[in-house]
Every structure is written in C-alpha cells, then in structure tokens.
Amino acid sequence: MARFILQRLMAALVTIWIATIAVTILIHLVPGDPVRIMYGSFQTTPEELEAIRVRLGLDQPIWRQYLMYLGRLLHGDFGNSIVGDQPVIDILMTRFPSTLALTLSSLFIAVVVGMSLGFLAAYKRGTWVDVSAMVLAIVGVSMPHFWLGLLLLFLFALQLQWLPVAGGDWRSLILPALTLGLANAAVLARLTRSAMIDIFDQDFVRTAHAKGLPKSIVLYRHALRSGLVPVVSMLGLQFAYLMGGAIVVENVFAWNGVGRLAIEAVFARDYPLIQGFILFFAIIVALASVVIDVAYAFLDPRIRYS
Amino acid sequence: MEIRLLRDVWRPPVLGAALAGTMALGGACATAQELVWARYGDIDSLDPHRATSTLSMQVWDQIYDTLLAFDMDGNPQPNLASGNEASEDGLVYTFTLNEGIMCHDGTPFDANDVKFTIDRAFGDTPSLTKTSWGPISDVTVVDDLTVQVTLESKFGAFLPFLADSFSSMVCDTNTADTFGSSTAIGSGPFKLVEWVKGDEIVLDANPDFKNFGKPVENAGPPMFDRLIVRTVPEPQTRLAALRTGEVQIAEPPFDDIEAIKSEGELDIVVADNTGQNVFWEFTISRPPFDDIRARQAVAYATDAQMAIDIIYGGLSQREWCPIARGVFGNDQEFCKQFGYEYNPEKAMELLAEMGFGPDNPLETTMFVWTGGNRHKLAEIFQAQLAQVGIKAAIEIMDIGTMNARVKEQNESPDDPSPGTFDMMTWSWYDPDILYQLWHSPGAYSGFQTPELDAMLEETRTTIEPEARLEKVQAVIQYLMENAAHVGLYTPGWEWVFAVRPEVEGFKIGPFLHPIFLDVTLEEG
Amino acid sequence: MVHGTTAELADDLATNGSARSRGFWRALLASPSGMIGLAIVGLLVFSALAAPLLAPFDPLRMAAGPRLDPPSAAHWMGTDDFGRDVLSRIIYGARLTLQIGVIAVGISLTCGLLLGLVAGYSSGWTERILMRLVDVLFSFTEIVIALACLAIFGVGLTNAMIAIGIASIPFYARVTHSVVLVEKGKPYFEAAIAAGAGHGRLIFLHLLPNVIPTLIVIGTLGVSTAVLAAAGLSFLGLGAQPPQPEWGFMLSSSRDLISRAPWMMIFPGLAIAITVLGFNLLGDGVREALDPRQRQR
C-alpha cells in the first residue's frame, strides 16, 4: 500500500512540476514585453520598468527565470499581484476556504442525489422511474450552471426572499452549492446507473438471487459495493470538474472564492495572480486525486497491483 | 453630546472602540451599531500609494485623514493642518499641525508622519500618482507640529492635492510588510479591524477622532460603532439586500431607480460636484486616428445626450469640457464653442474625405472599463458610430488594464492593426489633471506637442486665479480643437447611492468623498 | 464545462468504437433520443441558415420596440434594454452557436486525433511522454486551460472558441489513444503488420477508419460541451463582446435586469439548454446506432 501511495504521490508531483513549467511559459506567450504588459500602467517610467525587469529576473534567459521561479516557489513565494501589490499566495489562501466549502458541499449534493437517482434507475430498469430519472439526468447535464444559478437566485433570493443574498453567513452557501451540486448530480446519476446495470447483469448477483438470498442483502452486500467502485474512481475527476465549475458558479453568486478571483485576475491582466491560480489549482486537483485514488484502492484491492 | 462626553471620559485601555461605545451608551442600545455599505468591487490596496481606483480612495477616506479638506464648494480648507503659509516665491510651504491628533495605534500624529508619507510617495516604489504631488524636492520637520515642504517650481495645484485622498497621511508606524494588505494605521474616523479580500473591510469607529475640516457638523468621532464595506458585485443582489436590510447603503441598479423613487422606501442620494469626466481619447500615433478628421468624425457621430438619457435617465449630464463641472476652469459655454455637437452628416463627410464609405468602413476598437453600465453606453455609441460608417469593436476590461492598454497602444506606432480609441474616465479636483494626462511623457504617452507642453507648464506655474483661468482655457481650447480630449458626460461612476430610511445624515463631499461622521442609525 | 456525458463514455467507446452498423440512419431514427436530438439540431441549423428570413427584426437594431417590453404579439420574447427584439437576437445567435461548435470541436478533434494516433501508434517513450502530458493537461480541467489561453490571447468570441478547442484536445487525444490501443491488439492489425504494411497504410487504412466512428460520437457530444463552455465564458464577459447576439452574453447582460425583465434571462438560457440537450441526445443516439450492445441496455 505504501508503495502505491508513493507512486501516486510521484505522479502528482510530476503534474505539479509540469504546471510550473506551463505557468512560466505562459507569460512569454502573451504578445509583447511581459514587463510592460504587467507593470506598464500610467506614470511608470522606462527606468522603473527596467528596475522591475531586473528585480523579477525577467531580463534573464528563460531557463534561469524558470529556476528562479522554482526557487521562489519552494520558499512559498508565488510572487506579488499587480493589483494592490500583495503576495499571491496570501490572496489565494484567504479565498480558498470558500471555494473548498462550495466544492465539498456540492460534491456531497452531487453524490447523494446523483447516486440515489442512478441506483434507483438501474434497480427499476425499463420502468417509468428509470426513464424519468434518465430524462431528468440528461436535462440536468444540458442545463448551463450559470442559468440554473440565475433561476434559483431569481426565485429563492429575489422573489421569495428566503435566503440572504449579500454574503456573510452559511445560508448564502445553499444556492451556489445546489447549483453546482445538481448539475453534477446528473452526471453521477448516469454513471451510477450504467455501473449498477453492469453489476446486476453479472453472474454473482444472479447466483445470489438464485440461491434465494433476500433482495436487500444481495443489493447491499454484493451489488452496491462493486457498483460503487467505478463511481468512486470517477470522483477524482468529479472533484476537478467541480473546482472548474466553481469558477462560473462563484461568479453567478458573487461567492468569494478563488474562481471569482481568477476571473477578476484575467480582466485585470494580473499575470502573477493568474499564474498563481493555475498552479494552485493544479496542486489542489493533483492532491485530491491522490487522496481519491488511495480511497479507491482501499475499496478495491485489485487496483493496487494493476 | 452627552454620549460623546462619556466616551471621552471613560475610555477603557484594552477594550475595542465598539465595546467602549456600547458600554458608554449603557442600556440605551444593547448591541453594537453596524452600518453595511455594499459596493460592486473591492479595494486594490489599503496603501494610498498603491492604487488609484475610486473604490480604494473612498475607503482611505475613512481610515486616513488629509492635511487639508475640501469644503462643499471644493475649496481646500485647514484640516489636520491648522494653517499653511507659502513663501514669497511660492516654493516653500510651511504647515502647522493641530494638536492632540492620534494615530490609530495610539502614537501622536505629528510632523514626522507627514514627512514619512511624502518621502514614501517619492521612495523606491513611489506612489502611483507621484506626479500629482508636484515637484517636491524636500520635506523638513521643523518641530513636532511644523513641517516645511519645498518645491522645485511653483505648483498651482499643490494645496488642492493636499485635500485629496491620494495625499492621505500615513502614520510613520506603518513599517510592517503587511501594510496595505492587512494593516493600515491612519488618523481617520475609522480604524481597520480586518480586510477579508474580495469580501469585506471591517472598520471600527475611532474614539479619538477629531474633525477639523471635513464639511459636516460632527467635530468628534463617528456616532455608530462599526462600518462594514462589503463587496456585492451584482446590482440586483445589492438591491435585494437593501430591501431586506442586510445592507444600508449601496449603488442601486440604474434601471430600478425610478421604481425605487416612486416606492419611497429607500432614499436615493446623488453626489454633486464629483469632478468626474468621461471622455473620448484616441491612439494618435497611428492610423486612423493620426488624422484629425477621423477623431472629429467620432466626436460628431456621438450623441452623448441620447445615450446618457437612456442609460442613466437624467442622473448624468452632458459635459462639453475636458474637465468636470465644479472644477476650476470648467465653463460649459466656453467649451461648447469648440465642441462637436451631434452631426452625423458632418461625420460622414469627414470620413468620405478620408476615403471611407459605406463599403469601406473605418474599422477600430473601443476600450471601455467594467461597471457603472458603461458597457451599455458603449453599445449605444457603437450603434451610433455604425450609422456613419465607423465599425468599432468593443473591448471591456478592468480600469487598471485599460490604463495599461491605452499606454501600450500609444507606444506602438508601428502596430499594423488600426489604432484604438477609448472611453477614458478621470476624477480630479483641479485642472492639473490635464497636465498629468497630456504633458509629455503623459500618463498614457498620448497626444503631445511642444506647444501644448509649454501651455500646460504655464497652468502649473501661474497661481493667481484669473491669470490661471486664462491659461487653463487656452489648454482646453487646444485639446478640443485638436479633438484629442473630447468630453462626453459627468458624472459617470459610483455616484448614486440608495440609502435605507434608518440611516440619517449620510453625506457625500465634493469629488465623491463619502462622509459618515454625521450618520446616526435609528433603531429598527 | 461539464464533461460528464463524454467522460463517462470514453472507455466504453474505446472498446466498442469499431462496431459499425449497416442501418446506421435507421437505427438513429429508431431511437427516441436520436430522433429528438436530430430534430433539435436540425432546427438549430435551420435557424442559423435562414436567420434573415426568420427573424422579424435586425438583431442589432436598437429601438425596434420600446425598452424592456415584455413578450407580446409584436415581440414574442420581449425586448431588451436597448429595445432590441430578443427573438431576433436568439435566432441570429444560432449562427454564433453553430460556429462555436464547429470551430471548437474542429480544433480539438483534429489535434486530439493527431496526438492520439501518434502516441498510440508509436508506443515506447514517445507514447509515455505524450500521454503523461495529456493526462496532466486533462487534470487541469478545460475551464482552467481555456482561462489560461484567454489570458494569453485576450478576450473575445473567436479567442474563446480557440481556447475551448485547445482545452478539449487532451480529452480527444485520450479517447483516440485508447481506441488505437484496442485496434492494435486485434488479430487483423497484427496480420497487416505481418503482411508488411507500411506506416502510412497501417495508420490511414487500418487505424483511422476504426477511430472515426468513436470520434463522431464524442465530437457530437463535444459540440454540446463546447457550446456550454463558450456560453459560460461569454457569461463571464470573456467571450462574446457587444453587440454580438451570443446567448451566454445575452444572459450576462440580463443580470442587472433580472427582476425588471426576466424574459431577458429566461429565453437565452432556454436556447442554450435546448441546444446542448439536442447535441447530447444526438450523441447518445449516434452511439446507440453505432453500438448495438449499448442499444440493448
């Protein structure tokens, strides 16, 4: 097991390492002189720009820049933002808890709603329950989150005034989490259904049935556990999608997370912040996938050796 | 009055201001009084040298104070400085500070703090608005309450600058790395408790505050305990929060203002004398706008009155001058003579002369910054320009980005793509803004001529008002005749507030400085 | 940005992609999802092509009616805050939507196919490095890659299309790669190698034809993803710019007016949802038609 975890960790490190290269290259792909693009606001003189260039090492060859960047990263220094000149890592860290809260609560909603719907559909395969669950799921998959969000906002916050709108307390998490959770529940419902159908069709479940075991025991002991395996294997990806989806949803609800920050940074062409965000995102997603892979390996020991 | 006296007498050494306030109030009020002010965006920095946005400036107003302060007519009056004296040659200014002013950390505010602030503005990482301080060559501490500032040359806009938030006095104890991002020590009416980035800035009343010059009645500390400045980007959400009472003051959605007024539940407060000017400027360094006819065509094709009537419904006015109403030198009649009244035929004629026509439209890009429904206004302008054969793409960006992009455009004369133009906005208290924008090298490296440089220098060195007016108006005429700076409307951003009925006494000083000193919150 | 429908199919398709049915169209029309999907997509294409005939007004014309006029006989979907006809804008918007789908999927399909083929065919270190890179990019998620691209190129609808196209390349590369691996393991492929077939012949005659059915399916589903992603970027202000009648952008301009003029929010949202649904159903239908095993489920 230790070897497996180590192996997954190494893979995550490779991902993060590639991300560091990608963000270093990013600023050089922007047409024009990076220093002028980033720091050339009004009233900056050419001398000041030169000073910044030297201070940030942007006058060095790109490989040196990369090494310098890596060196700073290892000290936890992600650079300073252009807007307000503040440490990027501080800005990201103050906003990240909000994003994590949103992502985890929508993951919870997605898993509970999606898996029950999918399980129910598989169990009642071919009946109207199955058909309506799957119609619901495909409509859910097709619905833009931001539209669902606006509809919920319009209905519950503006018309009915059931929920606070201006942030501040946990109740303002309800609508964004529902929006993001429901959109992803649809995906999980489809996944769970097809996984469960495969299981129901397998011999061991049929045999258990034939042996006359009570249905609930068959379901619980055999089908559910094996059916969960492929679904759990998708959770890592789901988490990444939720993190990505959070970018849009945070903007709909003005949720104060890293996603809203990222969009603000793109508008402000705050490249150090954009670089920091991409790297941060890669690190979070890579670590989350390690955690989920390990959980998956506990659930299904076969995976460790493949 | 009685309450204030109690506070002054009974001040617990450790407990915070909020607690002190409530305890002094005794049984009259059980909980701390909070006022939530919601705005569309966050500040960029708590450090007045590291940002230029109005959003930032309005928060500095609460945390810091300035040597002078504007009265309601926009004239600088004594504030932290009880008096100032200029030497005969106009190069040395001596300021006397009021006694007993305290910084939020308990240290007295004195001449060293003034020196610290100015030295910092000219230091290694100078203030973003360094040039607006003027040609300062030296700051000398004469004694604790006297400070002397020496200029290299005469500077007519020096005193008004010292009343503006960009000259906020920063206490000399702000030496930590965290200054600007999580700490800020000033001597203003509120002290910083916390800045949760992107979310809210929490400020507590400063019980030691003394108001010497701000144009309100209250001479002491604020009369409520806590001011929370919250970011709520969506106008509809702000309105909903105002209605439920989560928020007390906010900018409402423009399209709902009529309805709000007729309902009568919320007050609409409109700032006067904002100093804001929204104008066209062009990339003059390359085609098509290197040709004056192209610039004039844009000016003639723009019906600003129609656009602001649709989008702001009477809350904004047509502005003919390159500087806003209420600013020294603004004169609508004078400016209108050189202005470009809406005249699409004239625009088409000019374009035809240049060889453009219906089959060969002039193609360009219009930059606009986010917020205040400006993108909608731009969309109307875009449609107006299309009618005369100017095909303008719109690019919407953050104001900081726009500042950088405009400069970048001006500095790229060889770029093969057509030059851009932009809806630039500046809020300034003095015609000196024209110097900062157009005197070479200029804020954006834009339109510059040696002639204009000489004229602008005279607006700085001429102090006597009547003579200065003449110099300023000469510049205005020059800029307008060259269609380099074409005024559109005023005001243009963050000047409309919807206020809940329990808030009394909310006032907006000139140049959009909100003042909370007279504010009282009714229970319930 | 939800790649769920496509993601869940990837492995499934990899094993079954080569199945081809003679009665493809018959099978497609026989499945309810295929038929509904085809009808929706047909309607979209029709409105895109016939927009000038269908739209009652010029989509850019301001003051075509009163401002913020609710739906009525004159303006079926009401007017926006410039007095433009919302229905006409939605109809013209179909053009942009179709364009987004075709360009974005075109980019990701072509590049993904190429990468996947090269990686799958070459094997060894080339394969390992390429696929490792693809996996890493894949884990970044599309929206983050698209954001990075927009940060580089600048905002705008064309850039957004390209960004979305680039962002999806890893997904298409992955699918192609896995199909190629399956095909390479089949006896006919080994026979072809034994018969001395050259690289070109192996790739173009044997691998490519077997990869294409799978790519048709994920390409169709991919259009829905691309449309959703582009609408999302436009909604955030990073895609379409005024006055383009792009649906996501229309939704974003409805936000200030959500209680004054809910129709400005409802109709563009519906248009996006129905279009995405159409491509999802069509994709499902095509998959069922290509793969009889799926149909039995």
Q: How far is it, in rounded angstroms, from Cα B9 to Cα B23?
A: 13
Which residues, numbered 225 to 254 in chain A, qualify as contacts with chain B under a Cβ-Cβ cut-off of 8 Å?
254
| pLDDT computed for residue A233 by the predictor | 75
Phi, psi of B148 (to 5 degrees): -120, 130
Provide the 8-state DSSP code for C85.
B
Interchain contact, A85 vs B197, CB within 8 Å: no
Taking CA atoms, C285 is separated from B173, B313, C18, C25, in Å, by 70, 52, 16, 10
C258 touches chain B (CB under 8 A): yes
Residue B160 burial class via C-beta count within 10 angstroms: exposed 0-12, middle 13-18, buried 19 and up: buried
What token pair was written down for B143? 């004694």
Domain assignment present for A284: no
The ipTM assigned to this model is: 0.88
Provide the mean pLDDT of chain A: 85
Residues A177 and A28 in one domain: no
Residues A69 and A109 in one domain: no
Q: How far is it, in rounded angstroms, from Cα C128 to Cα B356?
A: 57
Q: Label each residue of A144-207 as H, E or C.
A: CHHHHHHHHHHHHHHHCCCCCCCCCCHHHHHHHHHHHHHHHHHHHHHHHHHHHHHHHCCHHHHH
Interchain contact, A254 vs B231, CB within 8 Å: yes
3-state secondary structure of B35: strand
Residues A259 and A132 in one domain: yes
Q: How far is it, in rounded angstroms, from Cα A236 to Cα A296?
A: 10
Higher pLDDT pick, B455 / B371: B455
3-state secondary structure of C260: coil
> B16-64: per-residue pLDDT in tens?
344 444 444 444 445 789 999 999 999 999 999 988 889 999 999 999 9
- Amino acid present at A90: D
Q: Which domains does chain B have, with CATH numbers?
A: 41-231 (3.40.190.10), 276-490 (3.10.105.10)
Neighbours of B (≥3 Cβ pairs closer than 8 A)? A, C
Taking CA atoms, C231 is separated from A177, A216, B409, in Å, by 21, 45, 30
CATH number at residue A182: 1.10.3720.10
Question: Does residue B215 contact residue B78 with C-beta atoms inside 8 Å?
Answer: no
Q: pLDDT band for position A302 (50/70/90)?
A: low
Interchain contact, C241 vs B393, CB within 8 Å: yes
Interchain contact, A154 vs C265, CB within 8 Å: yes
- Please say if the pLDDT value at position B7 is more than 70: no
| pLDDT computed for residue C292 by the predictor | 53
Given the DSSP bridges, would you call strands B146-151 and B92-97 parallel, antiparallel or unpaired?
A: antiparallel
Domain assignment present for A169: yes
User: Residue A188 region, left (φ>0) first, then alpha (ψ -120 to 50), else beta?
Assistant: alpha
B372 touches chain C (CB under 8 A): no
Nearest CA in chain A to B410: A42
- Please say if the pLDDT value at position A55 is more than 90: no
Interchain contact, C147 vs A285, CB within 8 Å: no
Q: Which residues constitute the domain of residue A183?
A: 92-268
Name the pTM for this structure.
0.88
Angle in degrees, CA A134, A135, A136, rounded to 5: 90
- Please say if the pLDDT value at position A279 is more than 90: yes
3-state secondary structure of B199: coil
> A170-197: per-residue pLDDT in tens?
788 999 999 999 988 998 998 888 888 8
> A198-244: per-residue pLDDT in tens?
877 776 667 776 777 776 676 666 677 777 777 777 787 888 889 98
Phi, psi of C205 (to 5 degrees): -90, -30
- Please say if the pLDDT value at position B404 is more than 70: yes
The rounded Cα B393 to chain-centroid distance in angstroms is: 28
Angle in degrees, CA B403, B407, B411, rounded to 5: 170
- End of a domain among A79, A108, A128? A79
Domain assignment present for A282: no
Neighbours of C (≥3 Cβ pairs closer than 8 A)? A, B
> B109-168: per-residue pLDDT in tens?
999 999 999 999 998 888 888 889 999 999 999 999 999 999 999 998 999 999 999 999
Q: How far is it, in rounded angstroms, from Cα C270 to Cα C287?
A: 25
Nearest CB to A18; choose among C7, C133, C231: C133
Taking CA atoms, B501 is separated from A164, A167, B272, C158, in Å, by 20, 22, 21, 48
Residues A43 and A145 in one domain: no
Q: Where are the alpha helices (H) located in B180-338, listed in sequence order?
A: 235-244, 257-263, 292-301, 304-312, 332-336
Provide the 8-state DSSP code for A123.
H
> B374-390: per-residue pLDDT in tens?
999 999 999 999 999 99
Residues A111 and A245 in one domain: yes
Domain assignment present for A21: yes
Higher pLDDT pick, A158 / C178: C178
Q: What is the pLDDT along chain C (297 residues), one digit of tens a residue?
A: 334 444 444 445 444 444 444 577 888 888 888 999 999 999 999 999 999 999 999 999 998 999 999 999 999 999 999 999 999 999 999 999 999 999 999 999 999 999 999 999 887 898 989 988 898 888 788 899 999 999 998 889 999 999 999 999 999 999 999 889 988 888 888 888 888 888 888 888 888 888 888 899 999 999 999 999 999 999 999 999 999 999 999 999 998 888 889 999 999 999 999 999 999 999 989 988 887 554 433
- Closest among B309, B325, B274 to B487, alpha carbons compared: B325
> A115-135: per-residue pLDDT in tens?
899 989 988 888 999 999 999
Domain assignment present for A273: no
Residues A17 and A164 in one domain: no
Which residues, numbered 22 to 51 in chain A, qualify as contacts with chain B under a Cβ-Cβ cut-off of 8 Å?
32, 36-37, 40-43, 45
Interchain contact, A18 vs C136, CB within 8 Å: yes
Name the CA radius of gyration of chain B, rounded: 24
Question: Is the omega angle on the peptide bond into residue B450 within 30 degrees of 0, that is, cis?
Answer: no
Q: pLDDT band for position A304 (50/70/90)?
A: low
| Total structural domains within chain A | 2
Residues A96 and A75 in one domain: no
Please list, residue by residue across A115-141, b when 16 or more beta carbons sit within 10 angstroms of its beta carbon and e when fewer do.
Answer: bebbbbbbbebeeeebeebbebbbebb
Interchain contact, B394 vs C258, CB within 8 Å: no
Residues A48 and A166 in one domain: no
- End of a domain among A79, A108, A135? A79
Domain assignment present for A300: no
The rounded Cα C164 to chain-centroid distance in angstroms is: 10
B178–chain A nearest CA distance, Å: 9
Domain assignment present for A279: no
Set of chain B residues whose Cβ sits within 8 Å of the Cβ of A42: 403-404, 406-407, 443-444
Nearest CB to A94; choose among B196, B247, B403: B196
Residues A174 and A198 in one domain: yes
Set of chain C residues whose Cβ sits within 8 Å of the Cβ of A14: 132, 136
How many residue pairs from chains A and B have C-beta atoms closer than 8 A? 112
Question: Does residue B501 contact residue B248 with C-beta atoms inside 8 Å?
Answer: no
Residues A137 and A263 in one domain: yes
Q: pLDDT band for position B509 (50/70/90)?
A: very high
Residues A209 and A104 in one domain: yes
Provide the 8-state DSSP code for A223.
I
Phi, psi of B508 (to 5 degrees): -115, 115
- Interface probe for C, chosen from A248, A263, A293 (most Cβ of C below 10 Å), is A248
Domain assignment present for A243: yes
A189 touches chain B (CB under 8 A): no
- Amino acid present at A8: R
B236 touches chain C (CB under 8 A): yes
Interchain contact, A166 vs B397, CB within 8 Å: no
Rounded mean pLDDT of B215-231? 96
Q: How far is it, in rounded angstroms, from Cα B188 to Cα B517?
A: 11
Neighbours of A (≥3 Cβ pairs closer than 8 A)? B, C
Interchain contact, C4 vs A241, CB within 8 Å: yes
Q: Where are the alpha helices (H) located in chain A, listed in sequence order?
A: 2-29, 34-39, 46-56, 62-74, 88-123, 128-142, 145-152, 174-200, 203-210, 215-217, 225-253, 258-267, 271-299
Question: Does residue C213 contact residue C22 with C-beta atoms inside 8 Å?
Answer: no
Residues A115 and A242 in one domain: yes
